[in-house]
Structure 1
């Protein structure tokens, strides 16, 4: 019983009129959003570079030809009749 009373007293917190939004929190939020956008842009750039290197055969694969990459090869495709 004593622990419930103590727990209720601890979890009350400040009054709603004592809490206000601050400019510091807004600036931190905007900086975090900017950092996430930059990381997404950087990841996209790195993935494009890695795909270009793979297409060039840098990882031991056969280089991909530009003309044959867009068209299916062979007559076993499900669309051929």
Structure 2
């Protein structure tokens, strides 16, 4: 879905009520703004946390993801 949202002279914009309702922002809340080469992405804090957890889960599933494994590899690389 693509909607046009106008920005006022002082930089304010309003998200349509139906979007705020679906995102759980009916009573207000925080939105994270990410600037990319392609434009701007708006995410709720919950969406950003879920994305970060999904990324972390991919790395945590790796058998060498522990701090001890990392330190052992560093020691081996440095010849200790």
Structure of larger gyration radius:
1
Same fold (TM over 0.5): no
* Structure with the larger strand share: 2
Question: Which structure carries more relative contact order (alpha carbon 8 Å, separation 6+)?
Answer: 2
